[in-house]
């Protein structure tokens, strides 16, 4: 340990709870909060709030009180509980739930790491989820297929849904997400798959608008926080705006593209690429370009993004967006 001495490593919440317990004593601490879950919980409240904060509360405090304290929208269209490996709940559930594992689980949520992230009605929830999905895919340690290949494929599938891929893109996304669950070397792919499935279940109206009508008509304002520019993977985790496309009049099924960039291209049972279009995240641009150069039939190309609209006055800067898609004309 530190200086050769025995060293205890724990997290901030545990130390905070130890401090409270040492100050007020075990008996009083045991009577703080709920009988079934005594003590306090540290919550990180962020997202679409006026006052992002870390707050320590006894278990049993109404979740709506915590959201009001942080200046959340009165009627959020969704509240992400448990962080980016957690679950979404709607405004009714957020109003009824109290801060406890049992209460949040009963309404479909998850206390998890204690991160609570509401989003308001002005942003596209699927666009917000796509930003997070690209970041989760870029955070892979590259040690197993479900994480290294499955998460980028799932993020690409969600991008295809937002791009107007229709019911086929949605079904492909569900298949990829199901294939990732329970097969990783660690819990990162499981938690990420939970986030994907919860997103699809929580925002069915928006999902239908994108699948059937080509979009929900809202920009993605980027209210869900991601690491800033100083973070090593932050730039890599966002979409480049480019798309990898196959020219079916030239493709001969050589399969080299799937060997070079399997995160974006998979071969179907007939030996041809299973996806005709795939959004290219920043961290895969180099291999996508190499796949284009090495295609023997010259059937692969990278499509550049459409010119971006200027950011609204006083709003956040725009993220790269592909194909002029409304849901991704977004800011960070």
pLDDT in tens, 4-49: 888 887 788 888 888 888 998 988 888 889 999 988 899 999 999 9
Do 292 and 321 fall within a single domain? Answer: no
Residue 1, domain member (yes or no): no
Looking at 78, 93, 119, the residue that finishes a domain is 119
* E-state strands within 92-169: 115-119
Do 322 and 183 fall within a single domain? Answer: yes
The per-residue pLDDT for 176 is 86
Domain housing 211: 125-230+309-328
pLDDT, tens only, 249-302: 899 988 898 888 887 787 777 888 876 456 787 777 888 889 999 999 999 998
Q: How many independent structural domains does the chain possess?
A: 3
pLDDT band at 235 (very low <50, low <70, confident <90, very high): very low
Residue 87, domain member (yes or no): yes
Whether residue 195 contacts residue 151, with contact meaning beta carbons closer than 8 Å, is answered with no
Hunting for tokens 């971006």 — which residue is that? 308
pLDDT, tens only, 175-193: 888 888 888 888 899 999 9
Residue 173, domain member (yes or no): yes
Buried b / exposed e across 11-45, counting CB within 10 Å, b at 16+?
eebeeebeebbeeeeeeebeebbbeebebbbbbbb
Hunting for tokens 């060293």 — which residue is that? 7
* E-state strands within the chain: 40-45, 53-58, 78-81, 87-89, 115-119, 239-246, 277-281, 300-303
Report the chain's terminal Cα–Cα distance, integer Å: 39
The per-residue pLDDT for 103 is 96
Q: How far apart are CA 307 and CA 296, in angstroms?
A: 31
User: Which of 50-54, 176-180, 318-322: highest mean pLDDT?
Assistant: 50-54
Using only the alpha carbons of the chain, give its radius of gyration: 22
Higher pLDDT, 314 or 256: 256
Higher pLDDT, 2 or 90: 90
Do 179 and 80 fall within a single domain? Answer: no
Please tell me the total number of residues recorded for the chain in this structure. 332
Residue 2, domain member (yes or no): no
Give this prediction's pTM.
0.70
Q: What is the CATH number of the domain that holds 176?
A: 1.20.1440.230
The per-residue pLDDT for 239 is 56
Tokens representing 304? Answer: 């550049």
The per-residue pLDDT for 91 is 93
Do 202 and 320 fall within a single domain? Answer: yes
Do 87 and 129 fall within a single domain? Answer: no
Residue 19, domain member (yes or no): yes
Tokens representing 329? Answer: 């004309």
pLDDT for 221 beyond 80: yes
pLDDT band at 172 (very low <50, low <70, confident <90, very high): confident
User: Backbone dihedral region of 217: left (phi > 0), alpha (psi from -120 to 50 degrees) or beta?
Assistant: left
Do 207 and 255 fall within a single domain? Answer: no
Burial class (CB in 10 A: 0-12, 13-18, 19+), 293: exposed
The per-residue pLDDT for 259 is 86
Residue 275, domain member (yes or no): yes
For the ranges 52-66, 100-114, 253-267, the lowest mean pLDDT is seen at 253-267
Q: How far apart are CA 310 and CA 38, in angstroms?
A: 51
């Amino acid at each position: 340990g530190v200086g050769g001495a025995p060293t205890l490593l724990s997290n901030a919440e545990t130390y905070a709870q130890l401090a409270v317990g040492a100050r007020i004593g075990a008996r009083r601490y045991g009577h703080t909060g709920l009988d079934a879950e005594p003590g306090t919980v540290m919550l990180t409240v962020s997202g679409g709030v006026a006052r992002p904060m870390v707050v320590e509360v006894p278990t049993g405090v109404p979740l709506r009180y915590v959201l009001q304290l942080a200046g959340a929208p009165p009627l959020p269209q969704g509240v992400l509980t448990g962080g980016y490996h957690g679950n979404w709940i709607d405004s009714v559930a957020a109003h009824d739930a109290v801060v406890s594992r049992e209460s949040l689980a009963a309404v479909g949520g998850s206390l998890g790491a204690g991160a609570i992230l509401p989003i308001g009605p002005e942003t596209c929830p699927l666009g917000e989820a796509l930003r997070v999905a690209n970041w989760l895919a870029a955070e892979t340690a590259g040690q197993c297929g479900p994480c290294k290949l499955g998460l980028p494929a799932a993020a690409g599938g969600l991008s295809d849904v937002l791009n107007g891929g229709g019911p086929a893109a949605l079904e492909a996304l569900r298949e990829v997400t199901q294939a990732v669950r329970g097969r990783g070397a660690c819990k990162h792919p499981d938690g990420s798959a939970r986030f994907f499935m919860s997103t699809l279940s929580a925002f069915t109206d928006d999902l239908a608008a994108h699948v059937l009508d080509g979009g929900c008509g809202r920009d993605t304002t980027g209210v869900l926080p991601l690491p800033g520019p100083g973070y090593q993977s932050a730039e890599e985790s966002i979409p480049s705006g480019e798309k990898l496309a196959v020219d079916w009049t030239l493709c001969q099924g050589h399969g080299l593209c799937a060997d070079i960039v399997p995160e974006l291209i998979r071969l179907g049972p007939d030996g041809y690429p299973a996806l005709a279009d795939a959004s290219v995240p920043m961290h895969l641009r180099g291999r996508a370009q190499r796949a284009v150069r090495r295609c023997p039939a010259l059937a692969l190309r990278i499509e550049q993004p459409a010119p971006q609209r200027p950011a609204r006055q006083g709003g956040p800067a725009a993220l790269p967006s592909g194909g002029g898609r409304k849901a991704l004309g977004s800011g960070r």
